[in-house]
Amino acid sequence: METLTKSEVQIRAEELIERIHAGEVFVHPTDTIYGIGCNAQDERAVKKVRKLKERKDAPFSIWAPSKAWIKEQCAVTKEGEKWIEKLPGPYTLVFKLKNKNAIAPSVCMGADTVGVRIPHNWFHRVVELAGVPIITTSANRTGKQFMTSLENLDKDIKNGVRFIVYEGEKSGKPSNIVHLADKVKVVERTR
């Protein structure tokens, strides 16, 4: 496992994109907290994240490579269009998934919806260049405190990832969830 800075990621972007495509699991920054990521189209990699998180059946959110990707893969209403225009930002938008082949089956765990994000963070350029959605779930075991610095990263998660993209301590909270599949509902996250 290696820890990379922003400048190291920028220099090694091509290599890291290949590693993401190959299914490596990693920790990444967002505009809120740190997340565990992997190629959301790689079933084997998604299952590794499930095991690390000890999260058996709850769906994962994904970091979309672009707004266009969201519109192509999800059923987006007029209200959904308004929320997509707020991206990048600290929101997870929940849409009905139009193309079930766009992500691995174990991302949604049988649900017909998916939570999508585009965080306001420089790491989005890597996701955009990779051209695939990545899992973005808080870097913690389910029910435990999420990672805000290297000091509070769970040791089993640290040992279970191939690399960490670290940009210093974060003081955010998980993104707010906006349900847009049926009736619009915003769930603000406090922890």
- Per the prediction, the chain carries an average pLDDT of 92
Instruction: Please check the confidence at residue 87 and state whether its pLDDT lies above 90.
Output: yes
- Cα dist from 38 to 14, 60, 67, 169, 188, whole Å: 16, 11, 19, 22, 25
For the whole model, what pTM was predicted? 0.91
The identity of residue 44, as a single letter, is R
What local confidence, expressed as pLDDT, does residue 182 receive? 78
What local confidence, expressed as pLDDT, does residue 189 receive? 57
The residues, ordered by sequence, that sit 6+ positions from 73 with a Cβ below 8 Å of its Cβ are 64, 97, 98, 99, 102, 103
Instruction: Please check the confidence at residue 190 and state whether its pLDDT lies above 80.
Output: no
What local confidence, expressed as pLDDT, does residue 10 receive? 95
User: Where are the domains positioned within the chain?
Assistant: 2-187
What local confidence, expressed as pLDDT, does residue 16 receive? 97
What local confidence, expressed as pLDDT, does residue 184 receive? 67
CATH topology of domain 2-187: DHBP synthase (3.90.870)
